[in-house]
Amino acid sequence: MKKSIATMLLIAVSITSVYAKEDPLEWKSEDGANSFKVGGVLRFNHRYEQWDESKNRGLGKLDFDIFRLDLKAKYGDFYLNASPIIQDQEITSVEKAYVGYKIDDHQSLDLGLVYKPFALYPYPQNGWTYHLPFFLGYGNNIAPGLNWNFDHQDWDIKLGYYPRMLDAGLRYSPESATYDDLSENHLPFQSAYQNEKHNQFNARVAHKFETKAWGKHEIGASGSVSQLHNKLTDDDGKYYAVGFHTNSNYERWNLQSSVIQYEYDAKNPAGINDDVTLMGANGLTPSYFIASEGTVSSVNLAYTLPVKDMGKLKAIRFYNDYSYLDKARNDWSDSQMNTTGAMFIAKPFMVWADYTWAKNANFLGGAQNGTGLSTGQGAKYSDQWLYRVNLNLGFSF
């Protein structure tokens, strides 16, 4: 695996140096009806983390983050979009991988490993550091299934069906999961939690409009329902979520907001705590509990500053992302995250500099005990604000 990563890094560097015009490798037919593109991104990461157990407490070094290939093809009205990923610790995942068919100028179908459209989509934040909606399963989340898309000047409507969730070993973003499926990164006390989503339906409806005085805007509503099958009892519980979001652009400013109410109503064996649900991905971070019912809100603000006469640096995007999780149980502490940072745009290079401050967040101290997004009580670092400074350097081809 190490040799394959090194080979991919060399390929990415070579391609980037040769294709300095920032265009991906592309083949097109003379009439433009058929095409094939190869692009991608290579990222390195450096961070400093406050808590004692972290291995990133010193100055450290710039480590490998991800290598992602972006494959796009078109053949008449059919198309392909796929992004396989190699991550840190030699872990593989998939961001998306589907084929599609363009029905007409406004409608299309996607089939394969598709995004599950919901609220701010597909990314619920501006910064490199993902926020609470992502760790609850509402950002950059894919599953095997089918999406119907309707894209119009005034409306963006997406409907989707997903019979099963993506295999835990391929997940780039977390999702509810069984303990057995998370065999590479679960914790022993999580063994009784064996719930997984079946037959999930998603709907996202967004209205787009523009005013001369206040710029471009989008307001939308989302819904999601599924069975929640328990492997131990062989019974089906239920899951649901509803969300509302806005996305506004005025001159150089961007303001995003979302509110999501969710609930996991599992049919667990007797004696199992129904108030927590197990989440996990492909092992990059340990699996963790979330509150089975809660409301997560987010507000993201960004300002893009154009840059002149500074070589490849064309713009700096300053941002602040804030998210808050209110749990249904009144005796459980809330979870909060705030990320302040800047993205330096100098294509093909992009640099993110993030400062994240959080409490009761699974990957800021809470990952030590797997309870960062549930009670916030009784575990080490409960209700303590912790911080992480993160620098991510990437270049695309």
CA angle 48, 281, 330 (to 5 degrees): 80
**What are φ and ψ of residue 3, in 5° steps?**
-65, -40
| pLDDT score at 182 | 78
Q: pLDDT by residue (tens digit) across 230-262?
A: 999 999 999 999 999 999 999 999 999 999 999
- Strand 315-327 vs strand 236-250: parallel, antiparallel, or unpaired? unpaired
What per-residue confidence (pLDDT) applies to 19? 42
Is the separation of the CB atoms in 228 and 195 below 8 Å? yes
Query: What pLDDT does residue 17 have?
Result: 46
- Per-residue pLDDT tens digits for 44-70: 999 888 876 666 655 667 889 999 999
Q: Could you report the per-residue pLDDT of 82-126, keeping only the tens digit for each?
A: 999 999 878 889 999 999 999 999 999 999 999 999 999 888 999
Return the number of other C-beta atoms located less than 10 Å from residue 31's C-beta.
6
Low-confidence ranges of the chain (pLDDT < 50): 1-6, 9, 13, 15-22
Phi, psi angles (nearest 5°) of residue 174:
-75, 160
pLDDT value, residue 280: 85
Residue ranges and CATH numbers for the domains of the chain are 2-396 (2.40.160.10)
CA distance 324 to 357: 12
Q: What number of other Cβ atoms are within 10 A of residue 4's Cβ?
A: 11
Residue 30, amino acid: E
**Closest by CA position to 261, among listed 229, 281, 276, 239:** 239
pTM of full prediction above 0.85: yes
